[in-house]
Amino acid sequence: MKILVRNLDRSVTDTEVLDLFKAYGKVESCVVVKDAETGKSKGFGFVEMPNPREAIKAIKGLNTLRVKGVGIRVKAADDQA
């Protein structure tokens, strides 16, 4: 299941997001989207979890969690994303 993670502080790294999701199960991939020119975070990313049950637990557990003082938004990504 592909998960969209929004409202990330610009300093949050791929590894930090991965660590949040690993607590809920197996993670296939995790990427914080970066600006092509500056290399800085755009404030959102995607996580892929192969087990839908673990993915749903992660979404429920992490949505609105405060990371570096900012409440993140976590939801299932649209197939087009």
Q: Where are the domains of the chain?
A: 2-76
- The rounded distance, in Å, linking the Cα atoms of 17 and 38 is 20
Specify the CATH number for 2-76; select among 3.30.70.330, 3.40.50.720, 1.10.3470.10, 3.30.1050.10. Answer: 3.30.70.330
What single-letter DSSP state applies at residue 16?
Answer: H
Report pTM.
0.92
Please give the pLDDT value at position 79.
65
Contact status, residue 44 vs residue 33, Cβ threshold 8 Å: yes
Query: Per residue of the chain (81 residues), what is the pLDDT tens digit?
Result: 999 999 999 999 999 999 999 999 999 999 999 999 999 999 999 999 999 999 999 999 999 999 999 999 999 998 654
